Amino acid sequence: MFVRCPRNKRFVSRICVFVIVLVIVIYFMRKMQRNNEAIVSEQLQNNVDESNEYEIKLRAYESKIIPNLGNNGEGAYLENSEDREMGKEALKKLALNTVLSDRMPLNRTLRDPRNPGCTEFTYNPTLTASVVIIFYNEILSVILRTVWSVILQTPKHLLHEIILVDDASTEEDVQGLLQYYLDTRLKNHNIKLLHLNHRMGLIRARLQGARISTGDVLIFLDAHCEATVSWMEPLLARIEEERTAVLVPIIDVIEANNLAYSTNGDTSFQVGGFTWSGHFTWIDIQDDDDKGKLTPIKSPTMAGGLFAIDRKYFWEIGSYDEQMDGWGGENLEMSFRIWQCGGRLETVPCSRVGHIFRDFHPYSFPDNKDTHGINTARLAHVWMDDYKRLFFIHQPALENNPVIGDLTHRTQLRKKLKCQSFKWYLDNVYPEKFIPDENVYAYGQVRNKFDMCLDDLQLQEDKIGPLGLYQCHPYLAMSQYFTLSSKGELRKEQFCAEAFDNFEVQLTGCHSHNREQFWLLFKNGTIYNPSLKKCLTSEGVETSKGLRIDTCKNSMHQKWKFTYVNSTVVTV
């Protein structure tokens, strides 16, 4: 439409121009609106299509679930031969029978694994919990079974929220299907799903979840757990009683092959310790007064995957060392820091959670870095004082390596919190911890005249194996670090050399009450076992094979020299 405004009247002309501009603006606005409506309509249609796609996938998945499979925490078995074979292959590839997991109900029932005495306690906590669960490429059924167990086994008034943190998974199911499941099957529960844009690793991913939490207490869980009845109440009640107490449940085993919920019984459990190589290990309760107790008991360290902490105290005590990368070491760092800086770390016998323990990690770590070693080197420098010498025997290349990063912030935190020394920790928290170069007769490499040394032959920390013989290393490697303790133990940290009637010598758990673990060091270098009246010998022993005991004689094969000798037991 063509319009001409009159020119003889200025006022009328301006009005006319305004009207024309207004008409043009309205025309284009309506056109944009129609375009936007078309775009929105298309997006809605796409969303509907996407929802239908997810719904189809979920219904297909749910149709394959076998009712009551694995109920009561029983080990499960797949009748379909094809499924069984696929499950075996998954176990080899992923260290978990994922096929069985997918067939098992997500809300399966579990028996009560607690000591019956736990039912006599009454817990009435008023605190609420934010449960933070992080994962990377975990399968959908395992994540959801963790979530369902938390929901089913936790009173609603105590469960403030569940926060799922996806550490930049690449698997398709956790990109959209997980969110769709939460939106449709669990929409009445306060569950947040946070997708990270790039992989941060366990430590930083947990921090992301903790930052958006709003409950009174933070409870961290791995994404392959199952909570049991009344698991949360004793944790919250203890924190309400003492806010600086950091608590771990008894961690039971969910078998990776058949998903059986396994325990060591309702009276037997261990607490956390550590090795000088910087690894967490389970140890027996040392204090006789604590044995058999159902109330929280002292734990020198924690495994780190499952624990509860007052949310504000988590930040006050220093949360995590954010310069730690990937995974590993953060559990010992937090354990030492809590104890040295005024808190307590306790195991709660009446709280039990199952955890899938895999034989290997089914995924790789970014850049293939030794994040465990680097992270542990950071904590050694900050928290272990002079005792870090015992860690760096294992990792000499990391002692002065710039790869461990700047420690300024963490050392300042230690000063700010006015923390105790590591010697205080050993004396007051973990007095039973063996220190291989203090109050001992001799220590270091133990070599013979043929430049062969005692060696643990890379014995794993939870295994038993021969006391081996190997070419002496040019440096004091931990595999060849042995001690003759003040109790007469020929010892390698938690292992002791034990002589047997068949003349073999094995590295077994130290128990200090067995005569076969008692040795004497003679001044001439003979290592003698008084119980069997035999001497340690390398005669006839091949490299990488186990040593033996034999009739004592003046043989070069029976002469040994420790790197450092403080005194001798017997002089001949």
Instruction: Look at residue 5 in the predicted model and tell me its pLDDT.
Output: 56
Residues 327, 372 contacting (CB under 8 angstroms): yes
Cβ neighbours around 37 below 10 Å, total? 10
**183: which 2 tokens?**
């939106």
Instruction: Look at residue 39 in the predicted model and tell me its pLDDT.
Output: 54
Q: Which residue segments constitute the domains of the chain, with CATH numbers given?
A: 64-433 (3.90.550.10), 440-565 (2.80.10.50)
Name the one residue in this structure whose structure tokens are 């990776």: 256
Vertex 131 angle, CA 305 and 167, to 5°: 65
What is the C-alpha separation between 529 and 75, in angstroms, rounded? 46
For the cut 90, the answer to whether the pLDDT of residue 453 exceeds it is: yes
Query: What integer is the mean pLDDT of 417-431?
Result: 98
For the cut 50, the answer to whether the pLDDT of residue 391 exceeds it is: yes
Instruction: Look at residue 463 in the predicted model and tell me its pLDDT.
Output: 81
For the cut 50, the answer to whether the pLDDT of residue 58 exceeds it is: yes
What is the C-alpha separation between 190 and 207, in angstroms, rounded? 19
Instruction: Look at residue 44 in the predicted model and tell me its pLDDT.
Output: 41
Among 428, 423, 461, residue whose Cα is nearest residue 298: 428
Instruction: Look at residue 25 in the predicted model and tell me its pLDDT.
Output: 65
pLDDT > 90: percent of the chain: 79
Enclosing H/E stretch for 45: helix 10-63
- Name which of 222-226, 243-247, 342-346, 490-494 the model is least confident about: 490-494
Cβ neighbours around 30 below 10 Å, total? 10
- Name which of 250-264, 358-372, 487-501, 535-549 the model is least confident about: 358-372
Mean of all residue pLDDT scores within the chain: 91
For the cut 60, the answer to whether the pLDDT of residue 416 exceeds it is: yes
Instruction: Look at residue 567 in the predicted model and tell me its pLDDT.
Output: 65
Q: Quick check: pTM over 0.85? A: yes
Instruction: Look at residue 511 in the predicted model and tell me its pLDDT.
Output: 84
For the cut 90, the answer to whether the pLDDT of residue 45 exceeds it is: no
Instruction: Look at residue 106 in the predicted model and tell me its pLDDT.
Output: 98
For the cut 80, the answer to whether the pLDDT of residue 570 exceeds it is: no
Residues 503, 550 contacting (CB under 8 angstroms): yes
Instruction: Look at residue 568 in the predicted model and tell me its pLDDT.
Output: 56
Instruction: Look at residue 389 in the predicted model and tell me its pLDDT.
Output: 96
For the cut 60, the answer to whether the pLDDT of residue 11 exceeds it is: no
For the cut 90, the answer to whether the pLDDT of residue 19 exceeds it is: no
